Structure 1
């Protein structure tokens, strides 16, 4: 897993599913399915970015521990995510296309947020009610057996799809394209709470379209509000999207991060290796925007950077003089060390006003998770201790 380095032209993450600790081998002759991904910024959102990611972290913990009722939406949903990474997916036959948020922190696929009571075309197979609660909203509806198409030249894949009759918090997209582990679907079928739903990666593999349960995720830096410069690859990794080698690291055994794409890592700051976070578990989550540190680590990072809390955005803010002194963050993951440069730690200035900040302000893309590192889930697009969000770029 690669940290987001500003020296690289792209961010690349390779995931093997099911989540095993043994090394994987990429078969260059395997079937290759590529799905374009683009960033979408919600200009109408008034939600606080930090609050959204904190709410998501709570929902992730609850889902892993199955401490919520699948058919009960959150009492105080945080709506309208500011930054999303979206793929256009075709459903049914003839095809209906939907813009779905790419999410490694969940595994259900559903549509209908902007066109409720959607029923897949063709001959969908009724499978019963379905519901999922997210930190940024929820949906409830009906699960159908249908087909999906991931690109114009890819085959139709048999896939279970949720059709929303109620959706909150997804006004700017049509639904979710969950690509996490299949166990995250447990509890989403109220009448069959112990039954999981095969993911798109499972079905691609089982139906013979790919020979490796492998997902590649890449996203190139951009300052545009919407830009189709990312991609998902199934069954292979695109060698044009990275330099060097992709390192294989084991999934953490620490709960609840182990239920997701979880990693153990140690975080230090600067050339003096100032401790920020001792070896601990976090998750890879494309659905989280910020780098969310556990409270102790967040305080250490805030002090190291001489940052101030900004009430308008919920982020840390530094003055130009402090930015000139800002050093790199280093993440040691699976024996490999990755550097996040000073520029990589800042929120894109072109998007400052989108989050309620000053146009010329310098904001750090980190948040306080509001929990201790002993909980086993530090979440962020890169963090919680560190949650790596492979699609969120910095400038």
Structure 2
């Protein structure tokens, strides 16, 4: 279900005083799964577009942390649309399946499996609620012990839903975005923020750095253990080149999220698709969303369909035009990242998973629903992140990217 949740960005001053300890967990300690959990009549592009509309109203705040000690790798399982993870809650822990979202900051459960209170569970006396483009929840805010593989935090803010809508086959959400996105979700303390597990782990001296990194990769299977989420640093075995960092954008509303500036060109001629503009990196969005006029420019130059397919909501491209399709180039800072022709289409082996025709070629670009120049001109979603390594350095207020062994894969 949910390719639609909002993420946020925390700015923290980082001071590392000791050599990090790297903990590489078994791939089964923290399974992260992309699931086809959307419900109702909405298509994936419609849900992604609804997510983009929720990004226009968020405040910002600076949070400071202390140095810490370790880097934790946790495995990720790809299941076609979104990632979930098994999070242990309580003492002893009960495992819950939560959607991994870098576009929101509230962590909560209770959509499916009921919350089990233990000695580490504390009711804060606060009510909590959150509305997503594809659903909502409301309930009580607790603090508790959370375990993600070998990564453990205590006194972690945790919403316990008494009511939820739009979440099926999952227990809730693990929000990894900026904590300012939680402002207004508590009552009566409406101005309070709720730290994410990354924030809490750094503040409690568990993590070496106030960072979270994502390594996804494309798949042709609905279940594939092929990714790694790293807390407290990065995993050099997952990328090819040195990471190139850029500061977060200063353009609103993208600046309230993991926002960057980028330029997009097409092909060897450098045909302009998007002039330097602001948008966000969002693992909770499935597709690559572009401003309406930018998308039309792209569809025209590649020979894509004039209208989206009525069954799936995806734009399509003919076999003849796909054979001529060239790479897109995303210039972020001083580095141009090649997004190949293969990366621009949905995996054909998964066409039926989106309700599509097995023989149709679907493009992974979709309409953001805004005009360029809005301050939110793109959302580089999960399909984009499957081709590049991504690190969000909260402490430095910047993000980094690198190519991976799957940047030029022909999986799709």
TM-score by length of 1: 0.84
> In structure 2, what is the equivalent of residue 279 of structure 1?
276
Runs of at least 5 residues in structure 1 that lack an aligned partner in the other structure: 1-14, 66-80
Question: What is the CA distance between 1:93 and its match in structure 2?
Answer: 1.1
Alpha-carbon shift at residue 214 of structure 1 (Å): 1.1
**Within 2, Cα distance between the matches of 1:25 and 1:329?**
37
**Structure 2 counterparts to residues 167-186 of structure 1, below 5 A:** 167-186=164-183
For 2:18 and 2:244, locate their aligned partners in 1 and report how far apart those are by CA, in whole Å: 16
Distance 1:391 1:85, change over 3 A: farther
Aligned-pair CA distance for 1:168: 1.0
Deviates more, 1:134-143 or 1:225-234: 225-234
What secondary structure, in the 3-state scheme, does the structure 2 residue paired with 1:163 have? strand
Counterparts of 2:240 and 2:294, CA distance in 1: 31
Q: Identify the residue that residue 74 of structure 1 maps to in structure 2.
A: none
- Structure-1 residue corresponding to 2:339: 340
Relative to 1, partners in 2 of residues 1:110 and 1:43: Cα closer, same or farther, differing over 3 Å?
Answer: closer
Do the aligned residues in 1 keep the contact of 2:8 with 2:179 (CA within 8 Å)?
no
**Residue aligning to 2:90:** 92
1:24 deviates by 9.9
Task: Classify 1:332/1:142 alpha carbon distance in 2 versus 1 (closer, same or farther; 3 Å).
Answer: same
Contact 1:85 1:391 (8 Å CA) reproduced: no
> What is the CA distance between 1:46 and its match in structure 2?
5.0
1:242 aligns with 2:239: yes
Is the CA contact 2:80–2:222 (under 8 Å) kept in the aligned structure 1? no
Q: Residue 283 of structure 2: SS of its match in structure 1? A: coil
Equivalent runs, 1:147-186 vs 2, <5 Å: 147-151=145-149, 153-186=150-183
What SS class does the counterpart of residue 375 from structure 1 fall into?
coil
2 CA distance for matches of 1:47 and 1:266? 30
Counterpart residue number, 1:29: 20
Residue equivalent to 1:362: 361
Quote how far apart the aligned CAs of 1:23 are.
Answer: 10
Conserved 8 A contact 1:286-1:391:
no
Question: Counterparts of 2:38 and 2:50 in 1: how far apart (Å)?
Answer: 20
- Count residues in correspondence: 360
1:1-395 mapped onto 2 (5 Å cutoff):
18-19=10-11, 29-30=20-21, 32=23, 35-42=30-37, 47-63=42-58, 83-116=81-114, 118-127=115-124, 128-151=126-149, 153-308=150-305, 309=307, 310-382=309-381, 389=385, 395=412
For the aligned residue pairs, the C-alpha RMSD in angstroms reads 2.8
Alpha-carbon contact 1:39-1:228 (below 8 Å) kept? no
TM-score by length of 2: 0.81
Separation in structure 2 between the aligned mates of residue 62 and residue 82 of structure 1, nearest angstrom:
29
Corresponding residue for residue 401 of structure 2? none
